[in-house]
Structure formats: structure tokens, C-alpha cells
Amino acid sequence: MSLHELLPAPLADALLGGDWPTEPAVVDRTPTRLDEFATPAWFWHMVRTGTIPADKIGMMQAGPGLHPGAFTDSMPRTPGAWQAEVDPAKMLKLYAQGYTIRVGYLQKFVPFFADFIRAIQRQTGYGSYVHAFATPGGRQGLRHHWDQQLAVIVQVDGVKRWPLWKPVVDAPMRAYGESFRVWRQEMLDGWEASGPDLTVDLEPGQALLLPRGWVHNPHAPHEDQASLHLTFAMRERTDLWLAEQLVAEALQERRFREIVTPDVLTGDALADRLAHVGKALAEFATGISGERLETLAEQVRSASLTDWSEVRT
């Protein structure tokens, strides 16, 4: 499994060659093993059997998600310890009332998606994840927001309408311009007044490439047709991530392990100390060359293929 089973080969090759998208695009897909596995029957069997971990479920209707207690039962596992158990009947009742079911991080408990996501990371160097969204006909789960990484949305069943607006934050990251941290009501007023820059009706057999920062307000447009889609999110690495790898390498030199004493942190000398450390880091970085630079590059490449932590993009 690989990116080539998610996207047409020419597009996958272009992405891997560095032609990274900055504009949304809809592409037609040729069915692959992904389509054989991720079917509506598979999804609803997973829901009805209650096999989804409770902490991977979210339910929302055009707004914030419900408290987990709305779709779980608390069952004692050991004396004095309680653990949430999914209640499929509660989930299905809420779905019938118009709530979207979001099953997050499928790669954490579905082996097929664990293999799929690892294959993508081996190709791209990006830690990734996959969510599933089931929305009743004529309803909406999440409202206007943007993401901090490229999303590839694969429509499994029904139609999902994606009104899209150009970014209001340039190159957002989890630590910079994250949607829920900087969202303001006047943004929504402006989007609703202007209308979307682009609207996409995504159908089965299609995928939408949605670059980071693009505002979206997806919903199932047809009252008699529910929607099911998968969102593959690729957490792009940035120059900040590379800088963090350089800083980690700097720990090999004792000067960067010196203690900053309280009088510096609370006194007038802090600005000078920051300037000194900045200069030392610059000297350190420019001093890495030759064989040492090649060795560090291999270490960074290995980290990109194995690091599953929450990267800041």
C-alpha cells in the first residue's frame, strides 16, 4: 500500500517529486485495495459492533462535539476504576437525529490503516493519520474551519459538498494560526457575506486535495443521501522541524547544556544571553559540514520516517 493507492499515479509521483499543492483540486480515482476494504458495510459494522475505542469517537451537529457520555456507558473494569464503553445504540440514535459520527485515528486500531499510513510515511517522511466521517443526509458535522496540514479526502458513499475559501492565515501550523485558536466571528460573517471562492460536490470515486489553510464548511447536501468519507491528513514537515533537529544535535556540545541561572532569567541579562545563544547556534549550524553533515542528514531522514509524535504543523 502507498500514496499511489490513494491518488492517481501521475499525481502521486508529482507530490513525491516536490510539486506540492497550494490550490484545492478534485481528481478521479481508480479503485484500489483501499476501496475494497473501506466500504459503507465495513464502517457500519464497526459502529454497530461497538469495537471503536471510545476516545476515538466524536459526534457533532454543525457545532462543537458532544460530551462522550452521550454515546458511552461507564462500566467498572476493576474496583474503583471506570472506563468508558461505546454504546452503539446511543451512537445510532444520535446519528438518526442528525449528528455526524467522526471516527478518528483509524490507523491506531485498524491494522489495514496502520499499514496504509506507515507506507505513506515511508514515501513522504510525514507522520499522517486518517479519520472517517459519516454525516446524515441534509446535515452537517463541523462548520467553517481550516486545517494545518494537507488533507486528501476520499468520498466513500453519497455526496459531500465542500464550500471553500482562500486562506486567511498564511501557512498555518499547530503552533501558529491554528483554526480554533484564532477564529473570530467576523471571519464567519465575511465568509457568509462573500460566498465561497470554490464549491466542490465530492462523489464516490473522487478525491479532494485540500491544502493547509483553506477554509471549508462541508455538509451532506441531499436530504435523502447520507455521506461517508475518509480524510487522510499529512503532517508536512517544515524548516522549523529541521531547526529542531539541529538544536537536538547541538546537545552534543557542552556549551548548550550550560545552566541558565535564576538571576539571568529574572534579571536584565536575559536579552544578552538570548543574543549570545542565538549567535552560538548560528555558528554551530554553519560549522556542520562534510561527513558530519551527511551523517546528520541521514539521522534526520530516519527521524522523518519513524517519528509518530504530534509534529507542529
Query: Do 34 and 178 lie in a common domain?
Result: yes
pLDDT above 60 (res 12): yes
26-68, pLDDT tens digit by residue? Answer: 999 999 999 999 999 999 999 999 999 999 999 999 988 999 8
Query: Do 208 and 258 lie in a common domain?
Result: no
In a domain, 95, yes or no: yes
Q: Select from 194, 209, 235 the last residue of a domain.
A: 235
- Please give the pLDDT value at position 240: 92
In a domain, 313, yes or no: no
| CATH number for the domain harbouring residue 15 | 2.60.120.650
CA dist., res. 225 & res. 40, Å (int)? 13
DSSP state of 145: B
- Please give the pLDDT value at position 80: 52
Q: Which of 186, 203, 194 has its CA nearest to residue 166?
A: 194
Range(s) of the domain holding residue 14: 3-235
pLDDT above 60 (res 77): no
Q: Select from 235, 267, 292 the last residue of a domain.
A: 235
243-292, pLDDT tens digit by residue? Answer: 999 999 999 999 999 999 999 999 999 999 999 999 999 999 999 999 99
Kindly provide the residue ranges of all beta strands, DSSP E only, lying in 174-267, ordered along the sequence: 198-202, 206-210, 215-216, 227-235
Cβ(144)–Cβ(178) under 8 Å? no
Q: In this structure, how many other beta carbons lie within 10 angstroms of the beta carbon of residue 223?
A: 10
| Cα end-to-end distance, the chain, whole Å | 25
Q: Where are the alpha helices (DSSP H) in 100-184?
A: 111-124, 179-182
Query: Do 215 and 138 lie in a common domain?
Result: yes
pTM for the model: 0.91
Which of 9-23, 74-88, 122-136, 248-262 comes out lowest in average pLDDT? 74-88
* Three-state DSSP class for residue 259: coil
CA dist., res. 40 & res. 42, Å (int)? 5
C-alpha cell of residue 36: 475494497
In a domain, 78, yes or no: yes
pLDDT above 50 (res 310): no
pLDDT above 50 (res 225): yes
Q: Which residue has the cell 483554526?
A: 179
Q: Which residue has the cell 484545492?
A: 24
Query: Do 249 and 134 lie in a common domain?
Result: no
* Backbone dihedral angles phi then psi of residue 138, each to the nearest 5 degrees: 75, 10
Q: Select from 235, 263, 285 the last residue of a domain.
A: 235
On the 0-12 / 13-18 / 19+ scale of CB atoms within 10 A, 30 is exposed
In a domain, 311, yes or no: no
- What is the tally of structural domains in the chain? 2
Query: Do 222 and 79 lie in a common domain?
Result: yes
Strand partners, 173: 176
Query: Do 278 and 263 lie in a common domain?
Result: yes
pLDDT above 50 (res 90): yes
In a domain, 287, yes or no: yes
Query: Do 145 and 186 lie in a common domain?
Result: yes
Query: Do 273 and 257 lie in a common domain?
Result: yes
Query: Do 63 and 123 lie in a common domain?
Result: yes
CA dist., res. 15 & res. 8, Å (int)? 11
Task: Give me the DSSP letters along 9-59.
Answer: HHHHHHHHTT---SS-EEEE----HHHHHS-HHHHHHHHHTT-S-GGGEEE
- Please give the pLDDT value at position 312: 37
- Please give the pLDDT value at position 313: 34
Cβ(90)–Cβ(196) under 8 Å? no
In a domain, 30, yes or no: yes
- Please give the pLDDT value at position 184: 85
C-alpha cell of residue 310: 504530534
Which of 130-139, 164-173, 248-257, 303-312 comes out lowest in average pLDDT? 303-312
What percentage of the chain reaches a pLDDT higher than 70?
A: 95
Q: Which of 161, 179, 222 has its CA nearest to residue 26?
A: 161
Average pLDDT of the chain to the nearest whole number: 92
- Please give the pLDDT value at position 79: 54
CA dist., res. 84 & res. 93, Å (int)? 18
Query: Do 69 and 217 lie in a common domain?
Result: yes
- Please give the pLDDT value at position 306: 86
Query: Do 164 and 268 lie in a common domain?
Result: no
Query: Do 297 and 221 lie in a common domain?
Result: no
Cβ(43)–Cβ(155) under 8 Å? no
Question: Which helix or strand (DSSP H or E) is residue 240 part of?
Answer: helix 239-250
